[in-house]
Chain A
């Protein structure tokens, strides 16, 4: 070790905080004075990834926008568990809307602020994958196409969880939901359907599109802050595991999100005006099975009969992501 100017801080930026670094270098979530946009007493299930993702994203947005944020929420788990009348868990300016129209309402709020000359106040639309990928997709596409000054955040838990785990356009292949039997002979979702909204958003060539997960806080916060540097339509797609719908242990929510990224099944990247500009490399590569086996929605792949054919297809999808988003740059360089 000849280099004597080693800068090394034990957990670096992997953990939420780091006592060895100055407070200014800390994450929003390590700040004792963080907004807590979504505070205690909400009725989300134990270990809810969406509750975690929403607080991470909104707290970061509040810091980036100097606490001047209006949030417009689509119907879905997030709304139901955060605001059952007469209670609200929100500590920010927050609007209820319908299942399908949150992007349109956000567009309206942005227009009103423009009319009032309040460019300092930023607008965020948010919803689950049902509201985003399926029901509210038309207004979302319109919001992108008009380049309205809104950051739309999708908390993707890959099905309609609030109403009893029905399949959505974001449900991945082979995952079982309450309604996947209806579309094929297998209990899991069929291959070749569904929508990849981050790529669709990129196709609109809006200023900024990014993906993130609750497993990498610093990355998520950085992307929210980056999104707030742009004006116009922006889209952030956050993977938020759902213990209820995925059939996982409540304690494993963050771990499962981490395995989703480390297997390559969920690529983490950012794009500007339709082009991928960076991706987060895989740090500890795992096979898809590590990810699948912690979730009972995939249990039919392991019993009563192990379905290597299906697991291989999922592995192929992960490998395709790794190549497509350059998730293992060192390995690619060696080839």
Chain B
């Protein structure tokens, strides 16, 4: 080709040289499993909704969240956030305050009145859900979104289950609970309250195509404690239920709660709020071994709840308890020491765990019971085809979030069963490890702390203890997310390629590799902050 004077080479004529042929490995964009998503009992796509919230698209973020969980405002208060325990950011500075952002989105949705349209066409199937607690409500929500007709029956006058009758108001204000339940009702779920189901078979005969059992575990476990006639011994579940009903039980000035779980803590903190001078937890093991969430224990201590670890109640009498000191053996089990002391107590509240009321399945011999809980297969179906069970009725961690997760899982399996299909869970991609990330690129930013009421002030009333974040702090917290294993369009790959072999497709569209020129150096992999690129061998 004829060139002008002194010009010997055409501009970018090197494009004829396809250096991609040098490559023995090629980069590939991947979507891996962030640790938070992997840990969420409700299966939330935490990374995705945080990512969506990061540019202020709160409604879109909320809608991404509720694909998995209909209760962001409730979760943002009562969930023990296992997502934060495993958050990668904890290894850089502090875990992302996922729970507080979730609450911010949930509260915003209530404030703005965002509703959830049912867009799926009606399937004609009718599903009965027994129990209006977190598990049943979650199942109802998901089944309704899939287009099924859903009816919930519950013995109580109001829906919510343990969220209403177990969790005290200072942790979950009732206006929040009511708002998130009302949203499900607005979707067309039929609530039949004050409708105790004693016999599931009768309910099936009402014309339902499938039934989901989610009545929870509401019977307080009994422990034999020798007691004098005048001893006042109450059950934790009943105490909390009565308080929720506005019928505060008489507990006296000095209240001892026996047990180390979250229910025990709830009762002790409630007793303080009802005016007890002294509320004390007695538990046979240590604080470290107590099943209660550590934040709950800490908040209780701040409010003046006393803790008596390594102790058992041997005898109860009017106004006085006999306590035996325990010690841990080498295996970590508490063993009696034979050392006793007396403790003044006007009442003793037992919080030793809860059992499932199994009477409603008495007429269903196909439904198998194992160790006090209902046995279900991996699809959450009982031995009787079309009858599913979940939540506290089946063996699982007994938290609201786990219940919500069960509800979703059951809904998917019920839906598949009704369609005569089998629900296939998508395979879980590799879970991101901290070493997969390049944390250099994340700006330094410590965790934003949610304001809390002062311990002494809050112990005197049922006001909500933990306050929410305002918008700017919620946004800050969302932006602390490192987006583990998922591209967040930081442009690093596009920038660091020495061969200009990364094509930027534009905002929201991501990137592509130009394999005609990519030499497979792998700089994009090393410099990707979120570990969203891997190298794979070329086929030889």
Contacts and interface: CB of A to CB of B under 8 A. Distances in A.
B473 A6 contact: yes
Contacts of B490: 11, 15-19
A88 interface: yes
Interface in B360-387: none
A88 B9 contact: yes
Contacts of A86: 8-9, 13
Given A15-B491, A16-B494, A39 B500 contact: yes
Interface residues of A, number: 57
B220 interface: no
B442 interface: yes
A40 B19 contact: yes
Contacts of A19: 55, 488-490, 507
A217 B490 CA distance: 13
Given A51-B498, A217-B495, A251-B525, A8 B18 contact: no
A38 to B, nearest CB: 8
B506 interface: yes
Contacts of A52: 496-498, 523
Interface stretch (A191-199, A202-210, A253-261): A253-261
A250 B491 contact: no
Contacts of B17: 41-43, 87
Contacts of A16: 490-492, 494-496
Contacts of A253: 498, 521, 523
A18 B507 CA distance: 10
Interface stretch (A24-32, A123-131, A302-310, A312-320): A24-32
A19 B448 CA distance: 22
A20 B55 contact: yes
Interface string A203-233: 0000000000000010000000000000000
A163 interface: no
A87 B479 contact: no
Contacts of A26: 491
A36 to B, nearest CB: 5
Interface residues of B, number: 59
Interface string B477-520: 00111000000111110111111110010110000001011011
Contacts of A83: 9
Nearest to B19: A41
B476 A6 contact: yes
Contacts of B449: 1
A91 B9 contact: no
Nearest to A96: B8
B182 interface: no
B495 A87 contact: no
Contacts of B472: 4-6
Interface in A248-271: 249-255, 258
A48 B497 CA distance: 9
A42 B14 contact: yes
B523 A254 contact: yes
A179 B535 CA distance: 35
B440 A284 contact: yes
A43 B499 CA distance: 9
A10 B499 contact: no
A17 to B, nearest CB: 3
B495 A30 contact: yes
Given A10-B443, A30-B494, A251-B526, A46 B18 contact: no
A41 B491 contact: no
Contacts of A8: 443, 445, 475-476, 479-480
A250 to B, nearest CB: 4
A17 B8 CA distance: 36
A26 B507 CA distance: 13
Contacts of A254: 496, 523, 526-527
Contacts of B488: 10, 19
A252 B507 contact: no
Given A30-B491, A36-B500, A41-B517, A11 B9 contact: no
A249 B520 CA distance: 12
Nearest to B482: A10
A239 B519 CA distance: 22
Contacts of A258: 440
Contacts of A9: 443, 479
Nearest to A19: B489
A52 B496 CA distance: 7
Contacts of B525: 251
Contacts of A32: 504, 506
A141 B287 CA distance: 73
A49 interface: yes
Given A217-B495, A251-B526, 8 more contacts: A8-B479, A10-B443, A17-B489, A20-B479, A41-B17, A43-B14, A90-B9, A250-B522
Cβ-closest 5 pairs across A and B: A17-B491, A16-B495, A251-B522, A41-B14, A47-B521
